[in-house]
Structure 1
Amino acid sequence: MVSEGNLIDAAWQALEDSIIYYKGNPVGTVASKDSEVEALNYDQCFTRDFAVSAMALLMRGKGEIVRNFLIETLGLQSREKHMDCFKAGLGLMPASFKVIHKKE
């Protein structure tokens, strides 16, 4: 049987292991770390899902990742008109984003 303390420690470790980095800075958490399943977008950070992780990380005093997340997602806002002259409003965040690591 797993003790409550061990379960909580394991949950915090899983959250830490899910953090993704961009240019050396933490910017979010991946949707899933399940290595047995390769879904199309589980390696992306989903804005709505990160909201829960962000609250937990803030409780742990890890505000840097939340700040970086907000800065990077604001930078991903659309600046061009789309179909039928539709233009996304200011403050509209993407539903998800993926950090691509390029080997140099």
Structure 2
Amino acid sequence: MDITCWNCKTVTKLDKFAVEAAIASMDASKLGFHDIVCSSCGKSNRTARDLFVAGLQAFAVVEPEMTKREATLKTKEENAKRRGDDDKKERAKVKEAIKKAKK
């Protein structure tokens, strides 16, 4: 989740644990906002609870990371489809069948 400072426009990135901690502190203090202090200028950025809840849901939607092997296999399959390698194998089988039929 990214919070942009209203004063200096510096973007502060919050991870899932920081968002959960902010929601917990809002629950404890019964407030609808949380102040994020800018690391650059030191100003407080008042952020509504709705943004934290939406950010927490966005973390849940993120797809699981693929392993390097899975990514490589997926890329090879996509490239084969794009090049038409699957069609070439079928064409080779048809050509062999025709050659056998002619003999």
Task: Answer yes or no: same fold by TM over 0.5.
Answer: no
Tell me which protein shows more helix as a share of its residues: 2
